[in-house]
Amino acid sequence: MHRSTVIVLACSAIVCVSACGPSGSFAAEKGQTEPKVFRDPAPPEVIEPSGKPRAEPKQHPDVTFHADPKPLHPDAVTHDWTSFLGPTHNAVSTETHLLKDFGDFGPKLVWELDKGTSYTSPAIQGDYLVFLHRVGNTERVECLHPATGELYWQFEYPTNFSDRYGYNNGPRASPVIDGDRVYTYGALAQLHAFDLRTGELLWKRNIAEEFKVPQDFFGISNTPLVEGDLLVINVGAPGGPTVGAFDKLTGEMVWGAGDEWGPSYASPVPAVVHGKRRVFVFAGGESRPPTGGLLSIDPSDGKVDFSFPWRSRTAESVNASTPTVIGDQVLFSASYRTGVVLLEVLPDLSREVVWTNFDFDLHFMTAIEKDGYLYGFPGRNEPDAGLSCIRLSDGKQMWRVEPEWKDIVNQTGGRTKELTMSTFRGSLMKVDGHFLAIGEWGHLLWLDLTPEGYKEISRTWLVKARETWALPVLSRGLLYVSQNSASLDREPPRLLCFDLRGE
């Protein structure tokens, strides 16, 4: 589409782009010729390691161990899962030889952790799993053994975060492991760096306090990105920086980028376009008037190649779906009557709009590309969410369905109740030749997705609980699922480890 066409469509579809604002132009989308210089308001103190030995695993009082997992298949391909969305930041896994037939009882439960409040998922490297959640009035960082749930170390710090809409008062951003270090980002933007093997604190910052960032609707939700020697974060400071890069060893700010948009709920993603390393950040949270969009940033110096406004005009909305980079194209989507846009990044690192699609409005999941088609769960709420396929070349919708089935749940007094269930606002992972889907009511499904339609291969109900929103973590054939609310069968919130290893 030509630029003028996009202006008409965007304004008629009630989405917020700067072109629909008072100026009526795309001047705000041009890249900065020189990066704006931002000063670090409070460089942190670096704490020298004490030299203590690495922690040894011990029984965790809040973990119930059920059974050893099966041995891995001798030909199985496995990987670590060190950050949100997995090793390639796009919910695509290279693991193989996984359990495809769930049978009558589903995959075997290996262990479970009675957790506090959170919407986070764990990060895993080797024999270390790190999880962030809230217990009482503290946010707790826990380092566990991924196969046994045994505890290496814990670290706690106080929090008084309150979700304005009453969903959950815990953290949202997942930990990030990088070598012998792990980084966590709390609901009030408390940024911590730890020694992975000892649990010693190396440095800490309060990003919201230091950069004067007001609390957003649901607190901080974007997971930091380790990019070379940097930790890249969508800071969202008023007047900038929108994005900050911090030295991962010292915590000092190296550069800041952008000065228009606040923090979003989408995480920064790395990519190589036209042979050049770039970071894409889909920014924008609470603001009046509502603003936000995509930034393409050179991680070497923070220079902004371009910015592209894309945000609902509804103030009570956020940009929460992490962008998908496909070759030299980048796709990003927002809910609340907004939709999806595909940009072509040109050799000079400017951009052109390829197409827009009003109907592929992903709320918080990341779109997944396969063989020239995109798959996802568009829709703002449970009743209007479905599973959809669109064509990458032109954005044409190939199909959209609302998967539906009946489930029986037990009630008090020995009674049962039949429920009509669906995936609703689910998430997808492309893995082992198929798609693994998690529904927001805790259903796990293997799906065969093609431009002709979808086919259910197997389905099980892992946790009978709402708000199962975090993409599961897959590492070494074990699947980790975050249950974020009490279940219909009265199980409390838990982190669960399932055996997904094939025979």
Q: Are 301 and 292 in contact (CB under 8 A)?
A: no
What contacts 22, CB < 8 A, 6 or more positions away? none
Per-residue pLDDT of the chain (503 residues), as tens digits, is 333 333 222 222 223 333 333 222 233 444 444 667 999 999 999 999 999 999 999 999 999 999 999 999 999 999 999 999 999 999 999 999 999 999 999 999 999 999 999 999 999 999 999 999 999 999 999 999 999 999 999 999 999 999 988 889 999 999 999 999 999 999 999 999 999 999 999 999 999 999 999 988 888 999 999 999 999 999 999 999 999 999 999 999 999 999 999 999 999 999 999 999 999 999 998 888 999 999 999 999 999 999 999 999 988 888 999 999 999 999 999 999 999 999 999 999 999 999 999 999 999 999 999 999 999 999 998 889 999 999 999 999 999 999 999 999 988 888 899 999 999 999 999 999 999 999 999 999 999 999 999 999 999 999 999 999 999 999 999 999 999 999 999 999 999 999 999 98
State the CATH number of the domain containing residue 290. Answer: 2.130.10.10
In a domain, 49, yes or no: no
Q: Is residue 157 part of a domain?
A: yes
Quick check: pTM over 0.85? yes
Neighbours of 489 (CB within 10 A): 10
**Has residue 32 been placed in a domain?**
yes
Q: For the chain, how many structural domains are there in total? A: 1
Count CB atoms within 10 A of the CB of residue 136: 11
Burial of 217 (0-12, 13-18, 19+ CB in 10 A): middle
* Domain presence at residue 50: no
What range does the domain containing 222 cover?
A: 3-44+56-499
Q: Using alpha carbons, select from 444, 468, 447, 467 the residue that is nearest to residue 456.
A: 447
